[in-house]
A and B are shown apart, each in its own frame.
Chain A
Amino acid sequence: MKRLPWTAIAITALIALLALLAPWLGLPNPVTMDVPNRLAGPTAAHWLGQDEFGRDVLTRLIWGARVSLSVAASAAALACVIGTALGITGGYIRGVAEILTLRAIDVLLCFPPLLLALLVVTLLGPGAATLIPVLALVYLPGFTRVAYAGVLTARSQDYVEAMRVLGAGSPRIMLRTILPNIGGPILVQFSLAMAAAVVLESGLSFLGLGVVPPAPSWGLMIAAARATMAQAPLLLLWPCLALTLTVLVMNALCDGLRDAVDPHPTYRPAHRRVLEAIAPGLLPTPKAVLDLRHLTVEIQTQAGPIRPVRDVSLQVFPGETLAIVGESGSGKSVTSLAITGLLPGAARVAQGAAFLDGTDLLRLPEDSLRTLRGDKIAMVFQDPGSSLNPVHRIGAQIAEAIQAHRPVSDTAARSEAIALLRRVGLPDPESRARAYPHELSGGQRQRVMIAIAIANQPRLLIADEPTTALDVTIQAQVLDLLNDLKTERGLALLFITHALPVVAEIADRVAVMYAGEIVETGPTAAVFLTPHHPYTQALLRSAPDEEGPPPEGIQGVVPSPGALPAGCTFAPRCPRAIAACTAAPPALRASGDARLTRCIRWNEP
């Protein structure tokens, strides 16, 4: 739970307390007239002056709050209870219940709220007792729709189905499981309705349809003050001020509550640019397409900065596939986002350089980086469904990618798009180019994403879990395609994945990441055959293979980047750890032919 909006809560409580305690505050009677002193200005006895019948304005304001607020609160509460019940029932049971509740509410929504209120008041007669059901009726649809929308989202969640599996009945599921999970939006809706009801109550009383004189209410006070506006303009000011203050505080309370209920942590945005401080003598390795040096990424959190990626260096050469493999939280995706300049706002590159053919990507202005993305660097992501625009034909999306970087005519771009679709193996490319993304299967959409990625002859292709969402027979096709493209076009392929067998199939070299660092790197075959780092060894033992012994898990969990252990980050889970392991962080050292390992004991028996 985050910080509550204490200021707004305090002012709301003060207003409520004043209204509640009005009879005991020692105020004059709000209906006692003092006609000789009518419209008198503020005095010591009457701080805010006297109204057209000489009644004390402060008293009437406080007593008016009592009426206005209690009417608004009861109306909002009534609307909240009935509306939420209707919404949950309609949304959970569906069918006839949905038609009865939701459609009825939709009809109600068609009436302008003021007209609806006027209609009911005319039928039932004015008075505070009528006002409550009237206002409740006006705000009912809001609650129903909010609850209904919440239920539709919640009912498809696994934890709701889990309750059904356990044998729970519908009432139990609605009350115990769904209601608490849609409570946040309903709470906010309640504060909004309450603020709006205060205003509408005043409006109706002003029109003479609400509270009946001489009982005080803010609406009546405004109505009366309007008549004597020329003689005593201040009289109009007080109730309006009270009304404005109440509504503002209510809105502040809504906003604060909404933020407090939202479980997502808030991050302060960081400066995007890298510090210019950089180690001297840093020059790109010749021939490497991508040369990443000492990359460290920092995220500002409320508990201080955390570093999800630390000192990561790697090179990718033309016609080569480098796989970064790691479990969730290893920093593999953050690394790729940093290279492409697509880090989320809260994260920034704290140190390092990323040379693409000699240009440091991390120090390029955003405009230049944007022209590089989709041109020299291309990306393929895990979910092909959300990466394509659903309302454009796929041929047009490929053509657009071409024309964004090269001045070619529409017809040329179109025929190039079809050639690309043919290259990535989409059957019948001429007619499929006119298809929309939803008409394609997951595997076909991923082929389209690859077509877009290679459209401008990129030097570097970053593929972040490109086959994770695909079925195994389709995965095999896509891996073959990526492999062919790499050889045929001399692409440097940076392949990010958590699946070790996929790495074994596709990568020439592999970098194993753990808790934000590279722990081992080298040629894939050698690393998989004789892993040097205990983490790589454990990871390989935990991967099920068709032959061989049953998989073994690794005890413990990956440390969070906010609470890294001292020394070697893997030491707490490592079966070979000794005291020296926790003393100092181990360096990434050469451990054989083209291999590096971050372990002080890799060559000990």
Chain B
Amino acid sequence: MITTENLGKSFPLGGWFARRPLHAVRDVSISVARGETLGLVGESGSGKSTVGRLMLGLMPATTGRVMFEGQDLATTGAAALRTLRRRLQLVFQDPYASLDPRRAIGAQIADALVIHRLMDKAGRIERVADLLEQVGLAPEHAARYPHQFSGGQRQRIGIARALASGPDFLVADEPVSALDVSVQAQVLALLASLRAQLGLAMLFISHDLPVVRHLCDRVAVMYLGRIMEEGPVREVFANPIHPYTRALLSAAPSLHPERRRARLLLQGDPPSPADPPSGCVFRTRCPIAGPDCATTIPPLTGTSHRVACLKA
């Protein structure tokens, strides 16, 4: 349903005179089918949130394009894009910052219906009540304000707001990382059941590998703006090929340390995205990097399980 082709985004860096580009995202080609969830995994600065914003058309791509049902978002006019917004929605990370503290939540959920002139007032009230029930809240909660809810409840409200206009594609940007673990599981279960019920295509951005393992169908691992490995969740977790994916999986703390795979501890910190290494961006921390890694940018090869590594 939604596809990116060699998507790239750079931001200008520095002052008026010494301007140089910061490549936040480079050469990302992924696709999400109807009813499918793609997990986008990476550490801070890997560009995963930027990919999400680009796929929603919230910022223009520098290179490449985003195709939604065969339609290029970049060539869609501003008015048409606003109409398209109905079908592309976002769930935010921070349930405290993403709701307007001064307005009742019912009005905020109904915003999309008002903006797109989808229903009359009575219809809106009914739709808000339905949505609240769908996310596990009561219709009478519509008149309350955000501060009267807990973090988990606010995240449910954020999900209801995103679902109001009946979207087809949902980007969930770290939707549970600000929540307590017991609440996190509730919200994940809600997302999973809504996805099945509504046939949503979902891009699930996260740094939490076990969460991705449980919720997603496929997973793409990003490092410094590039995709390192992409494939079905089971396959990537059981048989990680890229050295970065392996390091990431082995670094994640586990409830059962004795069962955890042998730890592959990465040395040092990720380089700055403003000044990435030549060739393979991971080579400075890679345990198996060779001299050719510095000169050649490894292409993402493979069919269902794709890997960008010369040594794999």
Find the residue from A161, A165, A441, A443 having the highest chain B CB count within 10 A: A165
Which of the segments A49-57, A68-76, A358-366, A468-476 contacts the partner chain?
A468-476
Q: A159-B97, A181-B101, A472-B248 are in contact. Are A551 and B185 (CB under 8 A)?
A: yes
Q: Does A552 reach chain B (CB closer than 8 Å)?
A: yes
- Residues of chain B lying within 8 A (CB to CB) of residue A177: 100
Whether A544 pairs with B214 at a CB distance below 8 angstroms is yes
Q: Does A273 reach chain B (CB closer than 8 Å)?
A: no
Interface of A is mostly: helix
- Residues of chain A lying within 8 A (CB to CB) of residue B44: 442, 471
Which of A159, A427, A444, A502 has a CB less than 8 Å from the CB of B253?
A: A502
> Could you tell me the distance between the alpha carbons of A328 and B187 in the complex, rounded to whole angstroms?
16
Whether A472 pairs with B43 at a CB distance below 8 angstroms is yes
Whether A473 pairs with B208 at a CB distance below 8 angstroms is no
Question: What 9 A-B pairs come out closest when comparing CB atoms?
Answer: A553-B186, A167-B85, A553-B185, A471-B43, A158-B98, A501-B253, A544-B210, A554-B182, A551-B185
Whether A165 pairs with B90 at a CB distance below 8 angstroms is yes
Residue of B nearest to A427 (CB): B268
> Could you tell me the distance between the alpha carbons of A475 and B165 in the complex, rounded to whole angstroms?
39
- Residues of chain B lying within 8 A (CB to CB) of residue A158: 92-94, 97-98
- Residues of chain A lying within 8 A (CB to CB) of residue B269: 441, 443-444, 474
Whether A552 pairs with B185 at a CB distance below 8 angstroms is yes
Q: Could you write out 9 A-B pairs with CB less than 8 Å apart?
A: A168-B111, A181-B101, A444-B269, A472-B207, A472-B252, A498-B181, A541-B185, A546-B252, A553-B182
> Could you tell me the distance between the alpha carbons of A10 and B152 in the complex, rounded to whole angstroms?
43
Q: A158-B94, A166-B112 are in contact. Are A543 and B181 (CB under 8 A)?
A: yes
> Could you tell me the distance between the alpha carbons of A106 and B252 in the complex, rounded to whole angstroms?
52
> Could you tell me the distance between the alpha carbons of A444 and B269 in the complex, rounded to whole angstroms?
8
Q: Does A276 reach chain B (CB closer than 8 Å)?
A: no
Residue of A nearest to B46 (CB): A471
- Residues of chain B lying within 8 A (CB to CB) of residue A109: none
Q: Does B71 reach chain A (CB closer than 8 Å)?
A: no
Residue of A nearest to B249 (CB): A546
Q: Does A118 reach chain B (CB closer than 8 Å)?
A: no
Q: Does B150 reach chain A (CB closer than 8 Å)?
A: yes
Which of the segments B5-13, B30-38, B255-263, B304-312 contacts the partner chain?
B255-263
Whether B181 pairs with A539 at a CB distance below 8 angstroms is yes
- Residues of chain A lying within 8 A (CB to CB) of residue B147: 263
Whether B116 pairs with A180 at a CB distance below 8 angstroms is no
> Could you tell me the distance between the alpha carbons of A241 and B162 in the complex, rounded to whole angstroms?
58
- Residues of chain A lying within 8 A (CB to CB) of residue B92: 158, 161-162
Q: Does A114 reach chain B (CB closer than 8 Å)?
A: no
> Could you tell me the distance between the alpha carbons of A169 and B162 in the complex, rounded to whole angstroms?
17
Q: Which residues of A414-459 are within 8 A (CB) of B?
A: 427, 441-444
Whether B184 pairs with A165 at a CB distance below 8 angstroms is no
Interface flags for B211-238 (1: CB within 8 Å of A; 0: not) read 1011000000000000000000000010
> Could you tell me the distance between the alpha carbons of A161 and B237 in the complex, rounded to whole angstroms?
34
A interface, size bucket:
35 or more
Residue of A nearest to B177 (CB): A468
Q: Does B132 reach chain A (CB closer than 8 Å)?
A: no
Which of A162, A180, A443, A551 has a CB less than 8 Å from the CB of B98?
A: A162
> Could you tell me the distance between the alpha carbons of A479 and B263 in the complex, rounded to whole angstroms?
13
Q: Does A587 reach chain B (CB closer than 8 Å)?
A: no
Residue of A nearest to B151 (CB): A328
Residue of A nearest to B97 (CB): A158
Interface flags for B86-117 (1: CB within 8 Å of A; 0: not) read 10111011100111111100000001100110
Closest CB of chain B to A399's CB: distance in Å?
A: 24
Q: A165-B89, A476-B265, A551-B185 are in contact. Are A501 and B254 (CB under 8 A)?
A: yes
Whether A545 pairs with B256 at a CB distance below 8 angstroms is yes
Closest CB of chain B to A308's CB: distance in Å?
A: 16
Q: Does B278 reach chain A (CB closer than 8 Å)?
A: no
Whether A476 pairs with B251 at a CB distance below 8 angstroms is yes
Residue of B nearest to A327 (CB): B180
> Could you tell me the distance between the alpha carbons of A98 and B85 in the complex, rounded to whole angstroms?
27
Other 15 A-B pairs with CB < 8 A, given A172-B115, A501-B210, A501-B253: A162-B90, A163-B111, A166-B111, A167-B86, A441-B269, A471-B43, A473-B266, A504-B253, A505-B253, A528-B256, A541-B185, A543-B181, A545-B210, A546-B249, A547-B256
- Residues of chain B lying within 8 A (CB to CB) of residue A119: none
Interface flags for B163-194 (1: CB within 8 Å of A; 0: not) read 00100000000000000111111111100000
> Could you tell me the distance between the alpha carbons of A557 and B232 in the complex, rounded to whole angstroms?
35
- Residues of chain B lying within 8 A (CB to CB) of residue A181: 100-102
Closest CB of chain A to B69's CB: distance in Å?
A: 17
Q: A543-B255, A550-B214 are in contact. Are A167 and B82 (CB under 8 A)?
A: yes
Q: Which residues of A528-561 are within 8 A (CB) of B?
A: 528, 538-547, 550-555, 557-558
Q: A166-B85, A172-B115, A539-B181 are in contact. Are A473 and B101 (CB under 8 A)?
A: no
Whether B58 pairs with A501 at a CB distance below 8 angstroms is no
Q: Does B56 reach chain A (CB closer than 8 Å)?
A: yes
Q: Which residues of A508-523 are within 8 A (CB) of B?
A: none
Whether B255 pairs with A540 at a CB distance below 8 angstroms is yes
Q: Does B242 reach chain A (CB closer than 8 Å)?
A: no
Whether B213 pairs with A544 at a CB distance below 8 angstroms is yes
Q: Does A477 reach chain B (CB closer than 8 Å)?
A: yes
Q: Does B129 reach chain A (CB closer than 8 Å)?
A: no
Q: Does B161 reach chain A (CB closer than 8 Å)?
A: yes
> Could you tell me the distance between the alpha carbons of A172 and B186 in the complex, rounded to whole angstroms?
34
Closest CB of chain B to A329's CB: distance in Å?
A: 9
Whether B257 pairs with A504 at a CB distance below 8 angstroms is yes
- Residues of chain B lying within 8 A (CB to CB) of residue A472: 43, 207, 209, 248, 251-253
Q: Does A526 reach chain B (CB closer than 8 Å)?
A: no
Closest CB of chain A to B262's CB: distance in Å?
A: 13
Q: Does A389 reach chain B (CB closer than 8 Å)?
A: no
Q: A544-B208, A557-B150 are in contact. Are A551 and B248 (CB under 8 A)?
A: no
Closest CB of chain B to A550's CB: distance in Å?
A: 5
> Could you tell me the distance between the alpha carbons of A498 and B252 in the complex, rounded to whole angstroms?
15
> Could you tell me the distance between the alpha carbons of A499 and B90 in the complex, rounded to whole angstroms?
26
Residue of B nearest to A444 (CB): B269
- Residues of chain B lying within 8 A (CB to CB) of residue A164: 58
Q: Does A480 reach chain B (CB closer than 8 Å)?
A: yes
- Residues of chain B lying within 8 A (CB to CB) of residue A555: 186
Q: Which residues of A234-270 are within 8 A (CB) of B?
A: 263
Q: Does B83 reach chain A (CB closer than 8 Å)?
A: yes
Q: A166-B111, A441-B269 are in contact. Are A544 and B85 (CB under 8 A)?
A: no
- Residues of chain B lying within 8 A (CB to CB) of residue A540: 255
Residue of A nearest to B96 (CB): A158
Q: Does A500 reach chain B (CB closer than 8 Å)?
A: yes
> Could you tell me the distance between the alpha carbons of A499 and B182 in the complex, rounded to whole angstroms?
11
Q: Does B294 reach chain A (CB closer than 8 Å)?
A: no
> Could you tell me the distance between the alpha carbons of A288 and B138 in the complex, rounded to whole angstroms?
51
Q: Does A29 reach chain B (CB closer than 8 Å)?
A: no
